[in-house]
Amino acid sequence: MMVLRILGAGILVYLLWALVHHKKDKSLTFATFVEYLLTALLSIVLLMGVVF
């Protein structure tokens, strides 16, 4: 379960960074954030398929 925790933390950093960066950049659109969300979701789905 350690890998799940590490990936979870990585995803959190990735999404927070995306939010802060695009907000500061004034480039935060729904489509942009959906792209980040789907990349994060893909990572979770891939790992879940192996762990469970």
Partner 1 sequence: MALRNWFLPHKDTHKKAHLISWEGLLIYVLLFILLQVGFSIISYTKPGILGITASIDQKKLIELTNIERQKKGLGTVVENEALDKAAKLKAVNMFEENYWAHFAPSGKTPWDFILGSGYKFTFAGENLAKNFYTSDEVVQAWMNSPTHRDNLLNANYKDIGIAVAEGVLNGQKTTLIVQEFGTTELLARKPTIEVQGKQLAVPSQDLTNKPTLSLVSSPQINTKTLFDPYQVTKVAGFGVIIFMTLLLSLDFWILKKRGVFRISSHHIAHMALLSLTAGSLLLASPGAVL
What is the spatial distance between Cα 33 and Cα 27, in angstroms, rounded to a whole number?
Answer: 10
Q: What are phi and psi of 28, to 5 degrees?
A: -80, 105
Shortest distance (Å) from residue 22 CB to partner 1: 8
Distance between CA atoms of 22 and 5, rounded to whole angstroms?
26
Site string for partner 1, 7-46 (x = CB under 8 A): x--xx--x--xx--x---x-x-x-xx-xx--xxxxxx-xx
Give the interface with partner 1 as residue ranges (CB under 8 A): 2-4, 6-7, 10-11, 14, 17-18, 21, 25, 27, 29, 31-32, 34-35, 38-43, 45-52
